Amino acid sequence: MAMRKYRKYLQVGRGHTAAGWGEYLHGAVDEVQTFAGAVADRDIAFLGTGVDL
């Protein structure tokens, strides 16, 4: 998902096509994690385990 600096909120399941914004996710989202920056390579293995990064 591309993050745009002009957006003030996080959008999950929405995509951009040649026709514009609107490709929505078909289904349910079980869990979403966000981070203030890049996740270090060594921390990738811990994602989804319940360990705080």
Q: What pLDDT, in 10s, does the model give residues 3-52?
A: 555 556 777 877 777 887 777 777 888 888 888 889 898 888 888 787 77
pLDDT of residue 4: 57
CA distance 49 to 28: 20
Q: Which two tokens stand for residue 5?
A: 């600096």
Per-residue pLDDT for 1 more than 60? no
pLDDT of residue 14: 78
- Bridge partners (DSSP) of residue 23 are 15
pLDDT of residue 31: 81
Per DSSP, which regions of the chain are E strands? 14-17, 20-24
